A and B are shown apart, each in its own frame.
Chain A
Amino acid sequence: MIADIFTVAWKELREMLMFGDSRGRNKLSLLVILAIFGVVIPLQNGRDWVTSPISAMVWAWMPYMWVYSVVADSFAGERERHTLEALLATRLSDRAILFGKLLAALAYGFTLTWAILLVSLVTINVAVRGEGLLLFSPLMTVGALVFSILVSGLAASIGVLVSLRASSVRQAQQWMSFGMLVLFLPFMFIQFIPEAWLESFGSALVNADPLQIAIWAAVVLLVIQSALLAVAMRLFQRSKLILD
């Protein structure tokens, strides 16, 4: 089954990266993303990009955006382009197809995030040259590593689930955008929270052990991801997909 998962993921990644479309628009959009997030934004933030925990929060959510942009295509795209039925008629098991698509989305989000982080590190070091080599702290590096995997996995699970149910890529993308909106909705209500509450929450955060916070966040993400995966596995039935 592992080999089958890699086979499906190989095709997905090849479609995402190698050709994109015949005019190579996908490659161009990847370069634009790298330029904005690897050069422009780090230059605006300066040293803080490498040292501030706020930046770490930005990196942590970055994979969601990258995965979101490709995962909607996984099942909805295959259905729309009439390639799904041929795939379902092969010897591949349901799980190999499902996990192959998940793996591809996760790998895409993870790789792109790390490519951006590495480019940004070079950018910052060039910008502040003469101040010695600037690197992420070990804790931030591990956090970025763990969270880029977890957030990519979360986005991939949400995306596959949405893509399984959506009738078209456009609909899947709309649902994913809505999901993103829901994720960021709480931040819009921060202004309505009494200042005293915010202050006590802020001081609790400052005093808390960042490692512990990170571990709790990782556990919550893992639980949500497992639940989403369980639902996706339940929904992935050949006969249902053919009729949808």
Chain B
Amino acid sequence: MNAIQTNQLSRSFGNLKAVDRLTLEVQRGTVFGFLGPNGSGKTTTIRLLLGLLDADDGQAQILGFDVREQADEVRARSGALLEHHGLYERLSAADNLDYYGRIWRMSKVERESRIRELLEPVGLYERRNEPIGRWSRGMKQKLAVARTLMHRPELVFLDEPTAGLDPVASAALREDLEMLASREGVTIFLTTHNLAEAEKLCNQVAVINHGQLLALGSPADLRSRTSAPRLYITGQGFSSQVIDGLRRNALVSNVQQRNGQVVTDLNDMARSHEIVAQLVGAGVQIDEVRKEKADLEDVFLRLVEEENRGEE
């Protein structure tokens, strides 16, 4: 059984289609990345999946429960860190976690040990009795993640979980999330703008724009399906004639100049030596040639650009 299964899920606000016939499957125990630019429908999707908003059309089954009919069951088994951390700034860190522990009917002993278990690794346990109003954004974010995991949910929704965290804390959180998914079988549905993070962490990713699903698959799949092989060439003598010559080559699908490099998308990586030969023949002094597939960020940008062009 999938943790999340949606079928043609749709929601509009007036004329704006925030989520447009979204069909998704998220397997249990995986980390699922939901990528999209601002306003693409990511947050609305999470709200629909948690039953915080009613769908206009379509169905969603979460952990085997129908969101329309059994939203309480869904929420009882999920944890959510949404757009805002949602912490009570007048309360202490311990009180914030204690409150959510009480909500999930954890015993006092259980709450206390869980608070220690969650706050110690992120270095907040000693400060648990401080009101959090004056804490830094990163500290609050760590606490908010801890609150989301307080009751050991089966499914966790995380909206930009590493926003505001320093690189060390981000890496630690990524490790924790990976461990949660692999060892405890928790399903993690996360939205992020950090595509490198999605690439490292997610088993599956979906790209959404204007409420529509643009692509779905593993990061490697998406790269190979969506992007061309790429040559990064560093050197001297990239005149406009040389660049035009590259553009006319049938092997080349796209040429860009970035930070003193020429980035060439190829139709056939096996024939990359022909490009190097063409450049040498044109008098370019080549310092370095690097072959790579486009990263997830390129895939993402390309998908969104293509979709935006289609819209126009």
Contact = CB atoms under 8 A, between A and B. Distances in A.
Interface of A: 3-4, 7, 10-11, 14-15, 18-22, 81-93, 238-239, 242-243
Contacts of B255: none
A85 B75 contact: no
B82 A19 contact: no
Please list the 6 inter-chain residue pairs (A to B) with the smallest Cβ-Cβ separation, ordered nearest first: A86-B86, A82-B84, A91-B76, A89-B80, A7-B102, A83-B86
Given A15-B90, A90-B103, A239-B53, A85 B83 contact: yes
B127 interface: no
Q: How large is the interface on B (under 10, 10 to 19, 20 to 34, 35 or more residues)?
A: 35 or more
A19 B90 contact: yes
Given A20-B90, A243-B53, A90 B75 contact: yes
Contacts of A11: 88, 91, 95, 99
B72 A22 contact: no
Nearest to B95: A14
Nearest to A82: B84
Interface centre among B78, B85, B88, B157 (most CB of A within 10 A): B88
Nearest to B13: A243
Contacts of B51: 238
Contact of B133 (A7, A18, A22, A89): A22
A168 to B, nearest CB: 16
Nearest to A90: B103
Dominant SS among interface residues on chain A? helix
Contacts of A92: 103
Interface of B: 47, 50-54, 72, 75-76, 78, 80-92, 95, 99-100, 102-105, 131, 133-134, 147, 157
B53 A7 contact: no
A3 B54 CA distance: 28
A49 to B, nearest CB: 35
A15 B88 CA distance: 8
B102 A10 contact: yes
Given A10-B102, A22-B131, A82-B84, A88 B52 contact: yes
B82 A93 contact: no
Contacts of A93: 72
A242 B103 contact: no
A230 to B, nearest CB: 22
Contacts of A20: 90
A79 B92 CA distance: 20
Nearest to A3: B105
B260 to A, nearest CB: 44
Contacts of B105: 3
Contact of A85 (B86, B89, B104): B86
Contacts of A4: 103
A145 to B, nearest CB: 30
11 contacts: A15-B90, A18-B91, A21-B133, A82-B84, A84-B86, A86-B86, A90-B103, A92-B103, A93-B72, A239-B53, A243-B53
A175 B22 CA distance: 42
Given A91-B75, A242-B53, A243-B53, A22 B103 contact: no
B19 to A, nearest CB: 14
Contacts of A14: 91, 95
Given A15-B91, A19-B91, A85-B52, A91 B133 contact: no
Given A91-B76, A93-B72, A242-B47, A81 B52 contact: no
A230 B307 CA distance: 48
A31 to B, nearest CB: 19
Contacts of A18: 91, 95
Given A10-B102, A11-B88, A242-B53, A86 B80 contact: yes
